[in-house]
Amino acid sequence: MTRLTSLRTAASFALALLYSAAFAQDGPQTLAAIKLSTGMHAIRAEVARTPEEHSIGLMFRKTMPTNDGMLFIFEQPGVQCFWMKNTLLPLSVAFVADDGSIANIEAMKPQTLDSHCSIKPVRFVLEMNNGWFAKRGIRPGMRIQGEPFAR
């Protein structure tokens, strides 16, 4: 086997493990939370940092408090795409740049494979209950404040 074939095999195996982990999960994950804000609106966001935490996200949750959400942090900026398989709650997702500015916000329907992507490369994605951003007048271009975002 060539080195390239070995790398491809290892990468395929790693992706298969991540994919199966998301579907082997039988209940919601609970992650450490941080405080964020946008204007006067406080957010309690659980933080998903690893590929496995990313793949599970908010799956299997039946309810979520109004100002709670999940912040996904990626190592490198990229066009991030999200879908809702096994996610029971309708969500709104904000794709966020390193400085906390919101690139775009999308509404996501539960239990679908519809892809929702950032309009530019980002490292942060914030999922909240559906309509959370709109109800507070939060739009693309506005900023989210908190420890992960550069000042």
Question: What tens digit of pLDDT does each residue of 50-103 get?
Answer: 999 999 999 999 999 999 999 999 999 999 999 999 999 999 999 999 999 999
Mean pLDDT, residues 101-111: 98
Q: Which residue has the higher pLDDT, 121 or 19?
A: 121
Pairwise CA distance, residues 21 & 38, whole Å: 33
Say what the pLDDT of residue 21 is. 46
* 3 occurs within a structural domain: no
DSSP state of 104: E
Mean pLDDT, residues 29-54: 97
Residue 151 clears pLDDT 80, i.e. is over it: no
Q: Which tokens sit at 21?
A: 């982990």
Which helix (H) or strand (E) segment holds residue 99: the answer is: none
Mean pLDDT, residues 8-19: 44
pLDDT tier, 23 (very low <50, low <70, confident <90, very high otherwise)? very low
* 2 occurs within a structural domain: no
End-to-end CA distance of the chain: 48
Residue 116 clears pLDDT 50, i.e. is over it: yes
Q: Which residue has the higher pLDDT, 25 or 35?
A: 35
Instruction: Tell me the C-alpha to C-alpha distance, in Å, between residue 36 and each of 7, 64, 68, 133.
Output: 39, 16, 10, 13
Domain CATH for 57: 2.60.120.1140
Residue 15 clears pLDDT 80, i.e. is over it: no
- The parent domain of residue 101 ranges over 28-135
Pairwise CA distance, residues 20 & 106, whole Å: 26
* 33 occurs within a structural domain: yes
* 9 occurs within a structural domain: no
Residue 125 clears pLDDT 90, i.e. is over it: yes
| CA geometry: angle 97, 98, 99, nearest 5 deg | 90
Indicate the number of domains in the chain.
1
Mean pLDDT, residues 123-134: 98
* 112 occurs within a structural domain: yes
* 55 occurs within a structural domain: yes
Q: Are 100 and 149 in contact (CB under 8 A)?
A: yes
Say what the pLDDT of residue 122 is. 98
* 51 occurs within a structural domain: yes
* 97 occurs within a structural domain: yes
The phi and psi torsions of 78 (rounded to 5 degrees) equal -165, 170
DSSP state of 36: E
pLDDT tier, 27 (very low <50, low <70, confident <90, very high otherwise)? confident
Residue 77 makes CB contacts below 8 A (sequence gap 6+) with 97, 98, 121, 122, 123
